[in-house]
A and B are shown apart, each in its own frame.
Chain A
């Protein structure tokens, strides 16, 4: 039986980008690709939780970062995960110049739009990785 793709957001709390990364990953795991994509707590992983580490080492991982600090990507790699794909909200902003997501606590309209665009890209990548997996 195929293992779900692990999609891990940074969930950074200081900027709208972190909220967008989190929101997009939930869209993918709960709405767009339930059963094919799952997420896990980045903090749990970094704090050395055995179950989290096992899941990361046995799964194909996608890192979803808000900003250029790339906390998800860096922390997943440091914890022994192999990243098959990496998305950054900042890159998506460059492709969608008119969008200005400002709110952090609750996404504003532009934040919601960007989350939706990002979720669709992640979902497409999940499909690709799912097809390629044994």
Chain B
């Protein structure tokens, strides 16, 4: 059984990993003990194209829900990564400095962005199934951007 929920449009397959929570800002959240590991969704990394730079706020930074966690840059755009929780950054993926393409190749795995210690309870997040339904509605709109049209 696949660990992903998948939908296909044209030749592109869009995935949401089961068991994670998702913000409406396209950030996934995985609970890890008292902290959460976060990253960007497959849908959003795909629509931006190949990531050339990733700039993430350092460990120790206080973040607020909906506030800036970091950003990444492709040739098409600079996209903000918004924190899905209130808390303090406890770790940043060191690989993204030299290999930001991990976000493209493995957004739910090697492309993780940060570990945050939440200061309040998690709220306003979607289950994987809820997120997947919302994502499917956005896919056809994004296709033209992905194809560079």
How far is the CB of A25 from the nearest CB of chain B, in Å? Answer: 20
Interface flag for A113 (CB, 8 Å): no
Q: A68-B105, A101-B75, A102-B76 are in contact. Are A90 and B50 (CB under 8 A)?
A: yes
Interface flag for A27 (CB, 8 Å): no
Q: Which residues of B contact A15 (CB under 8 A)?
A: 49-50, 148
How far is the CB of B97 from the nearest CB of chain A, in Å? Answer: 11
Docked CA distance A15–B75 (Å): 10
Complex partner residue of B101 from A90, A97, A100, A102, CB under 8 angstroms: A90
Interface flag for A16 (CB, 8 Å): yes
Q: Which residues of A contact B52 (CB under 8 A)?
A: 90, 93-94, 97
Q: Which residues of B contact A56 (CB under 8 A)?
A: none
The reply to whether A100 and B53 form a contact with Cβ atoms under 8 Å apart is: no
How far is the CB of B86 from the nearest CB of chain A, in Å? Answer: 32
Complex partner residue of A97 from B49, B53, B76, B104, CB under 8 angstroms: B53
Interface residues of A, dominant DSSP:
loop
The reply to whether B53 and A16 form a contact with Cβ atoms under 8 Å apart is: no
Docked CA distance A50–B105 (Å): 34
Interface flag for A10 (CB, 8 Å): no
Docked CA distance A90–B75 (Å): 10
How far is the CB of A103 from the nearest CB of chain B, in Å? Answer: 8
Q: Can you identify 28 A-B contacts, CB atoms within 8 angstroms? A: A14-B148, A15-B49, A15-B50, A15-B148, A16-B75, A17-B50, A67-B50, A67-B101, A68-B50, A68-B101, A68-B104, A68-B105, A90-B50, A90-B52, A90-B101, A93-B52, A93-B75, A94-B52, A94-B53, A97-B52, A97-B53, A100-B75, A100-B76, A101-B75, A102-B75, A102-B76, A102-B148, A104-B148
